[in-house]
Chains A and B, each alone.
Chain A
Amino acid sequence: MADGSGEIDLRALPKMVRWYSPAHLVSTGWRSVVSEIFGQYADQRIMQATIDGFAPEIMKMVVGRYNYSDLRELGDGDKVWVDYIADLGDGFDSTYAMASLVSQPQIDIEGVGTLPGAKMLIMGGDQVYPFPTRQAYRERFAMPYATALPPAPDGGWRRLLFVLPGNHDWYDGLSSFDHMFCKARFGHAAENKIGGWLCPQHRSYFAIRLPHNWWIWGADIQLAQYLDAGQILYFEGIAQEMKAHPTEAPKLILCTAEPSWNYDKDEKLQGEDNLSTITKIATDAGARVAAVVAGDLHHYSRYESKETGTQFFTAGGGGAYFSPTHYLDDTRKVAWGDRKLELNLKCQIKDGKPTGEPSCWPSRGESRWLSLRTLAFPFSNYGYAVALGVIYWVMIWMFSTTPYNGKTVGETILHDPSFHWWPGIFMLAPLAAATNVILGIWCLALWVVLYGYADSAWGKKAKLLLGTLHWLAHIATMIALYYAVSYVSFYLVESAWPQAREVLENLDLRTTPDVRELLRAIVIFPLIMIFIGGLVAGFVWGAYLTISCLMGLHCDQAFASMAIPDYKNFLRMKVEPNKLTIYSIGLRRTPRRWSWRKTKDTGLGAVAGPAIVPARPLRPSLIDGPVEIRVGDLKRPSGSGSAVV
């Protein structure tokens, strides 16, 4: 058995696929639509045929073509600077703020001094949101980055760009990504420029050689799937090459598209874990892995392995909405080669000294505080709130018109003096849902949707409870709103009736009490219910998210709803023969739309700098570190210090 337990759980064995199950129908239908619209997913048969033509030896020879070893000249002899940024291509303000920060010739940071601009930038995934079309790439990714770093005056490139695809780049089967970044495969290595950036990569993964046998590997894990065989061969070929150096031990910085150490893993996948697959290739070649860097989670955090000295960075601060840090565990386990590494979050370094605090940014307290802003959900997502209002109104409409004791439910609860809402409503509401089948179906559908939405991080039962509580909250709010909106509409129709009657009379229309009631029920009530009641409904939703988020659930959804463009970050790495220094640079606040200025064209020919600048200079700060990783401190996989190969 895959989980190695020896016990076979009969109930857990996969069942026959129910082709006519509604969920399956919906998903298949959706997929066919997707591939209709966005072209066929890459045809696996063509891939197979292509790869089949090459023996593994030849595949490894091809690696030579993708050797970017000329990059050794990027350094000033002894050290090389490399930037890492991930999760960009969201709104212009935040994406461009980070693009211009990265593109600056140098950054002055208080307490650290001046950090020179890196000649090479690595993008760690999700270059565009939400869907990777060519236009989206152009608007959300290429435009900010080309503006921030225009080409050199002679039209040439200035810096190199290597890009890893994240899940959002994979949603169209990587076609747009391939066209955007991997044109070098077709011999356009010197031409594939985006502004002043040159993309020399051939595939969606890469291995870059830096001086002193330092390497940067970028692994493409598709949609958190397998590493394909071609990629494994590629890295195995590279591993042989890095092993062959007579005087410099191989050293590695590994970039992946997702921080798998942050995710709960299915234990049964042990051994098929991407991170462990690739680190095994590296460590088998005797490489020391200094750092593993990933994006995908839009915050900054760093885990440390005391055992090997490897640092695990999550730095997804390229522009996408900020996501919180307070739910991060203090310790995690990650599959590493053949074994497990214990990771520790409490390794913050401030002013060059370890403090023992969790190294995440913003801090957990700040992150909790920020999650309260989710309470403003209906205002930041008014469209969603109105949609909720519509649903509320429809359901309330059905509820109040359900017949009950010769009257409608609405009349009963509002006007029947013998009806007391407490505890009558607890009998009436289920009764109404039972009598009115459509209402019942709506209620059930609402429950299904909310249950499906609930976070499953705490297990199935918690999910059931969470979904049900959320559903109950909505139902209760609906009924409360019915009372409130009805009384408000009575009051409004009372005060507005004289004028309305006059208008109606002028139009020779009837002005009976029926008409008055009609006016209340189909004009005033829905308007208030949808547009103001929607806000309340949205508030319930927001409160649900806030409370869950404070408990560490639904964090992504909560912060996605706020779309906070602040707390952006990127990594600037200094690679030296015997150590790697990583500066984690944060931008506390990004300029909003109104604080961008166009630079004046001096009329002196080509503009060398960016065309758009912030009104006030950006103020980056060091959020952790500098993290110094000394090569001699990194333990090699064999563990013992006196290993003779």
Chain B
Amino acid sequence: MQARLAMPASKLKAHYDVVVVGSGYGAGVAAARLARCGRKVAVLERGREFLPGDFPENVAQASRETQVSGARGHMGSRTALYDVRVGDDIHVMMACGLGGTSLINANVCLAPDPRVFDDAAWPSAVRRDRLLAEGFVRARHMLRPEASSRTQSYEKVRALRLAASAFERSVEPIPLHVSHTSGPNAAGVHQEACKECGDCCGGCNVGAKTTVASTYIADAAAFGAEVFTGVRVLSLSKDERNGWRVWAMPTDEDTPRGHKYFVTADIVVLGAGTLGSTEILLRSKAEGLALSHWLGSRFTSNGDAIALAYNNDVEVNGIGVGDPPKAAVPPVGQAVNALIDLRDTKDVRDGLAMCECALPSAFASALPALLAPGAAVFGEHEKRTLGDELEAIERATDSLLKGAYQGAVHNTQTFLAVGHDAGNGVMRLDGDRVAIEWTNGPGQRVFQRIEEMVRTATHATGGTYMRNPATEKIFGGNLMTVHPLGGCTMGETSRTGVVNHKGQVFDTSAGSSPDAVHEGLYVCDGAVVPCPLGIHPLLTITALAERTMIHLAHDHGWHISDAPTPVRATQQTPAAAPSEGRPRERRLPWFARWLRRAPAPVEGE
């Protein structure tokens, strides 16, 4: 059972030892490890805190929790959970909330092919010292990735197995940071057992998803870190006396005018995500901070592509049902369960991997009406016999009449593919927002190869192949990624990167040596990854952050305590309650307590 961790920005103090910007995988690690070093840490998160039960359950709630921003403006609340950035060349889907993308990702804890780190883009120290491996150990220890023991029994995995047979491959179960049994997690926070509702990507209302908020941030808070939500960090500047000024404003204000304030810190760790950290540094650079000219470059989408296999011949059961379940179907599984691994190629950059994905139930009721015309217009399928065709039409009708859990939509498989793109997108500051330019992005061979692969897989199960509707030519033919990486990439010197292998930001002010760094300024999130990873990046980002923290602590002569997380009183009370004492409350649906206990989330000030 998660306790609320966040405080409003009004409680911010003027100075901290460490300010961590963001609360995703990288920032969470930084907050937890530096708090364990005995530092006074503040975590600044632009979004709100979500607890299990707070996540959207239907289309109305989901649309309220969606924000879309692009060149033409901003739509929706700035603290809405689903944060979609529409760009001219590529769209990016992120999360906004305490815990970052871990709130709505698919929990895929896979390590990249080791050969990825042989790429010259990585500083050689990453390969040389043994700490990245140590980082992976620590990341796994905290997130506890484990594949579901029932992986092979889920219908979407069986369908994927059929698809895999087209490549003469088997499917491999994916370790997920989901707790399959109820009990305390690595940070001592009680988590429920997964109910296999398939809703991971919409936000887990069960409390089984091991988010950063329930692990690293909870650990940091237990060691004294202060967590603030609704704080949007704008830029950084040097303070004469206190190290760094972190300029911020309340997230729900449109313009900084009149709301801008700053806190000072000896050390600032940027972990606001690929777009967030890059944006903050770009703005700081514009305001005069000397940073490498590589800042904003080497953006990669990690070869991401999403596609649908609509109306397959086989049962897929690939739509989340939520909890309590919206339909009586067999267990869906977790959002992502199995992988077709095509990474064992001679050149590591040709490697592809593809997994299935359950769509969150919050969107379920909208899907039949979206997918049926979508498939009719954009879909392509192999020639079917008349009987098959009739059956397909019957299923499509079924879905339209009876809903997403029957017929064509029930038999729809969503594929998530990752690969290695060129990794040469550029992020620029366009007024107040960061814009991504990637002129040759969609034209790259990797996306054609992924498309071929997904089409083959779709036809193996007799489905209709649909690209991600958002990337259709008619809408601009843009790519869409959920794995943005790069922008503040690692390099040996400021001539090749923005940060060094320890995450320290290079100082390019006149007269400084190429490997000079800004004292006390660190980046540790996906932005430092200098090349596509070819696999879902969360574990690598976490491991790199752990490595950065080991270096940071070592350089400052601090010791990262490895004591178990102290269990706080607020967490003990609910754990004891269900055993005995309050049987009346136990009979209520599990979320009722949260609905009662947690009124409107605290927003800003």
- Which A residues lie at the B interface, using CB under 8 A? 76-79, 212-213, 243, 245-250, 286, 288, 576-578, 630-633, 635, 640-645
Contact = CB atoms under 8 A, between A and B. Distances in A.
Contact of A578 (B134, B144, B562): B144
B435 interface: no
B536 to A, nearest CB: 14
Contact of A247 (B129, B146, B543, B554): B543
A632 B133 contact: no
Given A247-B117, A576-B146, A286 B141 contact: no
Contact of A77 (B112, B173, B540, B554): B173
B597 interface: no
Nearest to B550: A642
B582 interface: no
A247 B111 contact: yes
Interface string B145-177: 111000000000000000000000000111100
A247 B112 contact: yes
A461 to B, nearest CB: 48
B133 A631 contact: no
Counting chain B residues whose Cβ lies within 8 A of the other chain, the interface size class is 35 or more
B133 A642 contact: no
Given A78-B173, A247-B543, 17 more contacts: A247-B111, A247-B112, A248-B136, A249-B137, A250-B133, A288-B137, A577-B175, A578-B144, A631-B140, A631-B141, A632-B140, A641-B561, A642-B550, A642-B554, A644-B129, A644-B551, A645-B131
A577 to B, nearest CB: 6
Which of A576, A577, A640 gathers the greatest number of chain B CB atoms within 10 Å?
A577
Interface string B237-277: 00000000000000000000000000000000000000000
A246 B559 CA distance: 24
B21 interface: no
B560 A642 contact: yes
B30 interface: no
Given A248-B136, A642-B560, A645-B130, A76 B141 contact: no
Nearest to A250: B133
Contacts of A630: 141
Which of A248, A249, A578, A632 gathers the greatest number of chain B CB atoms within 10 Å?
A578
Contact of B140 (A79, A577, A641, A644): A577
A632 B140 CA distance: 8
A284 to B, nearest CB: 12
B137 A632 contact: yes
B130 A578 contact: no
A58 B106 CA distance: 48
B550 A644 contact: yes
Nearest to B109: A577
14 contacts: A77-B172, A77-B173, A78-B173, A243-B130, A246-B133, A247-B543, A248-B114, A249-B134, A286-B130, A577-B111, A577-B140, A578-B140, A642-B554, A645-B130
Nearest to B133: A249
B404 interface: no
B138 interface: yes
Contact of B175 (A78, A249, A288): A78
The 3 closest A-B pairs by CB, nearest first: A632-B141, A77-B172, A578-B140
Interface in B556-576: 558-562
Contacts of B126: 246
Nearest to A212: B111
B142 interface: yes
Contacts of A641: 559-562
B326 interface: no
Contacts of A640: 559
A630 B185 CA distance: 13
Contacts of A643: 554
Nearest to A77: B172
A239 to B, nearest CB: 13
Contacts of B543: 247
Interface in B325-350: 339, 341
Contacts of A245: 114, 133
Interface string B521-564: 00000000000000000001001000000110110001111100
Nearest to A251: B137
Given A247-B114, A248-B136, A577 B145 contact: yes
B152 to A, nearest CB: 8
Contacts of B104: none
A474 B175 CA distance: 67
B127 interface: yes
Contacts of B144: 578
B147 A642 contact: no
A314 B159 CA distance: 44
Contacts of B117: 246-247
A79 B147 contact: yes
B133 A248 contact: yes
A249 B554 contact: no
B132 interface: yes
Interface in B562-594: 562
A77 B339 CA distance: 10
A197 B410 CA distance: 45
A642 B137 CA distance: 13
Contacts of B129: 644-645
Contacts of B132: 246-247
Contacts of A644: 129, 131, 550-551, 554
Nearest to B141: A632
A70 to B, nearest CB: 13
B550 A248 contact: no
Interface in B55-71: none
A248 B175 contact: no
B33 to A, nearest CB: 9
A35 B131 CA distance: 53
A643 B137 CA distance: 14
B511 to A, nearest CB: 30
Contacts of B136: 247-249
Contacts of A243: 130
A630 B139 CA distance: 12
A573 to B, nearest CB: 16
Nearest to B118: A246
A243 B562 CA distance: 23
B550 A632 contact: no
B111 A249 contact: no
B138 A78 contact: no
Interface in B86-131: 111-112, 114, 117-118, 126-127, 129-131
Contacts of A213: 133
Contacts of B131: 644-645
Nearest to A633: B141
Nearest to B111: A247
A420 to B, nearest CB: 76
B146 A632 contact: no
Contacts of A250: 133
Nearest to B37: A642
Contacts of A288: 137
Contacts of A76: 172-173
A593 to B, nearest CB: 39
B179 to A, nearest CB: 14
Nearest to B540: A247
Contacts of B560: 641-642
Given A642-B559, A644-B550, A644-B551, A247 B173 contact: no
Contacts of B112: 247
A138 B244 CA distance: 76
Contacts of A635: 562
A315 B550 CA distance: 38
B226 to A, nearest CB: 23
B103 to A, nearest CB: 22
A425 B540 CA distance: 87
B364 to A, nearest CB: 30
B413 to A, nearest CB: 20
B396 to A, nearest CB: 35
Which of A248, A288, A633 gathers the greatest number of chain B CB atoms within 10 Å?
A248
Interface in B193-208: none
